[in-house]
Structure 1
């Protein structure tokens, strides 16, 4: 019995899980594992070969849902906040990286179209890898973190335009040579006509979608939400994403990816946008995995041996060429070495948009198979080395400051903690780092005062910049264990990796206050057993995402009657710690 669809999905997901888990254990991005699974299932390695045409169809669904997710998380406010540096910086960096890619393509004798697609694919960073790197290094909400996110948004927008324009320019780019000159357009009439027609179609599509998005979609989602059925709500969101993408492609000639991006943008602006993102996350993740598996299936590992210099050159453009360009742009904009190096490390990798562009280039017959393999090889190598680049930022920044003779900038003083009575009926959280940051935000948004056990100066300064109002209002205190006042505390949250110090701290806290609620993260079965032995009120499992875990912790503390949160929440809102949600 032949079941190519089932075989492709099952083997793709199973192998992606196995290799993704191995990659995670090796401190690598799971994307590396997903690509490895695709390589194993592809026609260039021995053993079972999955149906490549079926995989491409599944990858197209993955592209739709990936772009829908990009649209759901797209934020004009994030871009506007860092526009003066992110907008020109990203455009300049894309241009420089694209030129480097085109130069390598010219060396290999490719056409102008191949060089352009290849260069663009090397110029855009992976959203998944970048966001994860910022979170793991506790800099998502710092100034350089916001610049990196804004920079990424600009890159995504440029790639969306590229996805729109490449099919129109393909006939002119396909057969022309590069040699650092764009193809001769002796008869630009057909291209101008096609561009004009596409512009009109896109304008009509955007107008209709805007009207539907403002009038029809919110009413539909609110109606479904009132039914109380999560299944219907999830199905409704997916129907909108896939339906808009399909309608855009069939009715207006717009790509599936662009239609899905617009659909995500519209839902992001609605009051149910956050819930839409949360409900569709599992399916988006599953098909995104299949997309990376399909990309890996088109990778020929022999290119590492047959074209080692070209592979090395591709890797150097991604990791060093882009980084040097971004560093120079940031320094020219007046940023210090630390911020400039952070942005450089953030962009020194490629991922999902690169594969989308490469897949489009193959389908348009612009890109040779060799180019696709080079892009996948560059992605795997750059994602593997990215954590190392982040670990070197501090040392390289200090060395650069010494080389330039730049005196170390003094940090601003920490805000004074208001004097008064010690906190009571509060939660004690260990450390200001992820996932503790998410927990602290959830607690203060629910009106629960927090004492943060933190003595590391760098983390204290980050907390001071992110939680300034809460500290000034006395809603967050911080310091050593002696100031935690466990006797009057409501809960102790063990959100850091387990070690003997954390266990000893919990033992002392429970000795001072036997009624203290203990909440912990179980990263291993041994940790879970220990938490059960301590009668922990809530145990967070490893697969729980940070936002959900933080909400569970706040709800557990409130539901147990430890905190009289209603009046205190109003106090927090007046302090402008977290804006109250509009009703």
Structure 2
């Protein structure tokens, strides 16, 4: 009990700090383990025992990964995942492999070590891609595909580490049991058949009982039971969990299984990283500083070089190649698992595995720092490419931003015979739009010189379709300073951004997903039995309420407590009023059979 409280307290202290600093939750768990472990305050004396239990978090993580890899989805992404992902692993491992040989390692140790260090951190990279809104752009799609392949490749890597070793790994990933190939094949076939003809009916039966804790218990029993079976026949528990996840990826209960497993996976995986932190040999920083420092630089630099070379092969150019190299240059979470398996099976000496584990953890710190350097000195195309020369000096409309939002605005204007001057700061977007026949100019619309060259003095209106609220506000401020009477129509990221634009006296503010959300709500109400008139009235009432609330609450948005209280009171009042209106309308139309068409 005491140790459980200690782990939770350490996680609650150090993980938020790491996330706040942009270093990622994994690093927070590692630091928590270092502080409470033997190297720190020695509050926990047996990290190995904690590591053994916490490896169940890795098993559950592999199950969740399997749930997300529906065969159809894998097939649609096959070229990017199995092409680009395999090339990334092979190229980075090929660059790292000679280092192990130069240090006098056996080829088995060098192979497992280089493949482990070729892995990147899914948790860190995906978080950075989402934070920078890069998931939908080429660098984000390619990076995610490579991470997906790495998640799959980590499973055979565990088997490789066990197969090349001289001892059977005592952890959950390598298994205690033994069995011949026929028994192992029979176990895999049995899992496939059981998943199809036993697990599905059992889940349907339990789901009909509507007892949520039973479904959660069955989910855990399914994962751990399959994992134990794989361990008994001498295969990896992780492989069994992953196989179970893939088999259930097409099930209608996939999301329920994932939501039930995720809390256990998150806690146990966090405990695993804490245990890894406790097991890290930080004394190597003092006893072998040259090996640690030089190893860290070489691993990150060689991985970045490999990724930069690979960027051209997957269709990336210029700054996109550099960004991919920076984002995936660190070593990933799975490397800890693979290195632990290599250490347990004696394919790699314990001292070498400890050194690589420390380098892997330190490499996670390097990515945020490298991104800062990239933003400042990486010379992205938006800073090196000169702005285009704009031909039309008297545009009726100036459109800033040509993403999904701006493209629709431009197409409607063009269909009405109005040719806007379109400016976008993303070189890939500009080049892609030109291939499709749109006339888009490259440049930063917040720069006064570019606005002047674009003919802002003669424009009748400016449409701001930039997806970054900070840049959008900056452009509004610039336009209000230089052309106070020019009508501005702006896209708002959310309600708070809409308030900011209203305060800046923007002529028309449109929240980017507001109208489409209302249309979806109307359609949902109609499917639930509301007539089309009622659904439209409710949506119109909500639109009026929302717009009125934005104006009324604008003054209090800087006081968070007051703003939250206003939102809660306004929501309750609106819902109560709508319920009363619905009851009154139902009474008025009772027995009339009147249905209003849209």
Same fold (TM over 0.5): yes
Query: Would you say 1:415 and 2:397 are equivalent positions?
Result: no
For the 8 Å contact 1:62–1:291, the answer to whether it is kept is: yes
2:156 alignment partner in structure 1: 161
1:269 to 240, 246, 250: 250
2:229 alignment partner in structure 1: 247
Cα-Cα RMSD: 4.4
1:205 alignment partner in structure 2: 187
For the 8 Å contact 1:296–1:376, the answer to whether it is kept is: no
Offset from partner CA, 1:40-82 (integer Å, 9 cap, x none): 2322334323322321222221221121222122244454444
For the 8 Å contact 1:234–1:276, the answer to whether it is kept is: yes
For the 8 Å contact 1:93–1:322, the answer to whether it is kept is: no
Query: Would you say 1:74 and 2:75 are equivalent positions?
Result: no
- Cα offset for 1:172? 10
For the 8 Å contact 1:74–1:265, the answer to whether it is kept is: yes
Compared CA separation, residues 229 and 373, structure 1 to 2 (3 A): same
- Cα offset for 1:483? 8.3
Deviates further, 304-313 or 265-274: 304-313
2:53 to 54, 58, 66: 58
* Distance (whole Å) between structure 2 residues aligned to residue 378 and residue 166 of structure 1: 19
1:109 alignment partner in structure 2: 104
1:304 alignment partner in structure 2: 285
1:501 alignment partner in structure 2: 500
1:567 alignment partner in structure 2: none
2:212 to 230, 238, 242: 230
For the 8 Å contact 2:92–2:307, the answer to whether it is kept is: no
- Cα offset for 1:219? 1.6
Q: How do 1:364-379 and structure 2 match up within 5 A?
A: 364-379=345-360
Where 1:113 maps in the other structure, the secondary structure is: helix
Compared CA separation, residues 514 and 61, structure 1 to 2 (3 A): closer
Query: Would you say 1:35 and 2:36 are equivalent positions?
Result: no
For the 8 Å contact 1:351–1:379, the answer to whether it is kept is: yes
* Distance (whole Å) between structure 2 residues aligned to residue 293 and residue 54 of structure 1: 12
Where 1:171 maps in the other structure, the secondary structure is: coil
- Cα offset for 1:393? 5.4
2:261 alignment partner in structure 1: 280
Query: Would you say 1:455 and 2:469 are equivalent positions?
Result: no
* Distance (whole Å) between structure 2 residues aligned to residue 74 and residue 536 of structure 1: 43
1:383 alignment partner in structure 2: 364
Deviates further, 148-157 or 44-53: 44-53
**Could you list the runs of 5+ residues in structure 2 that have no partner in the other structure?**
170-177, 390-400, 414-461, 470-486, 510-541, 583-598
* Distance (whole Å) between structure 2 residues aligned to residue 70 and residue 537 of structure 1: 41
Compared CA separation, residues 533 and 34, structure 1 to 2 (3 A): same
Offset from partner CA, 1:254-303 (integer Å, 9 cap, x none): 11111111112222221111121112211110000010011111112121
For the 8 Å contact 2:296–2:359, the answer to whether it is kept is: yes
2:564 alignment partner in structure 1: 531
* Distance (whole Å) between structure 1 residues aligned to residue 577 and residue 377 of structure 2: 46
* Distance (whole Å) between structure 2 residues aligned to residue 481 and residue 404 of structure 1: 28
Query: Would you say 1:314 and 2:295 are equivalent positions?
Result: yes
For the 8 Å contact 2:164–2:347, the answer to whether it is kept is: no
* Distance (whole Å) between structure 2 residues aligned to residue 236 and residue 25 of structure 1: 37
Offset from partner CA, 1:145-167 (integer Å, 9 cap, x none): 22222211212222211212322
Structure 1 length-normalised TM: 0.67
Compared CA separation, residues 525 and 282, structure 1 to 2 (3 A): farther
For the 8 Å contact 2:326–2:367, the answer to whether it is kept is: yes
Compared CA separation, residues 457 and 21, structure 1 to 2 (3 A): closer
For the 8 Å contact 1:201–1:253, the answer to whether it is kept is: no
Where 2:185 maps in the other structure, the secondary structure is: helix
Compared CA separation, residues 502 and 419, structure 1 to 2 (3 A): closer
2:130 alignment partner in structure 1: 135
Greater CA radius of gyration, 1 or 2? 2
For the 8 Å contact 1:224–1:233, the answer to whether it is kept is: yes
Where 1:27 maps in the other structure, the secondary structure is: coil
Tell me how many residue pairs correspond in the alignment.
457
Between the two structures, name the one with larger relative contact order (CA 8 Å, sep ≥ 6): 1
* Distance (whole Å) between structure 1 residues aligned to residue 32 and residue 4 of structure 2: 12
2:201 alignment partner in structure 1: 219
For the 8 Å contact 1:79–1:153, the answer to whether it is kept is: no
- Cα offset for 1:122? 0.7
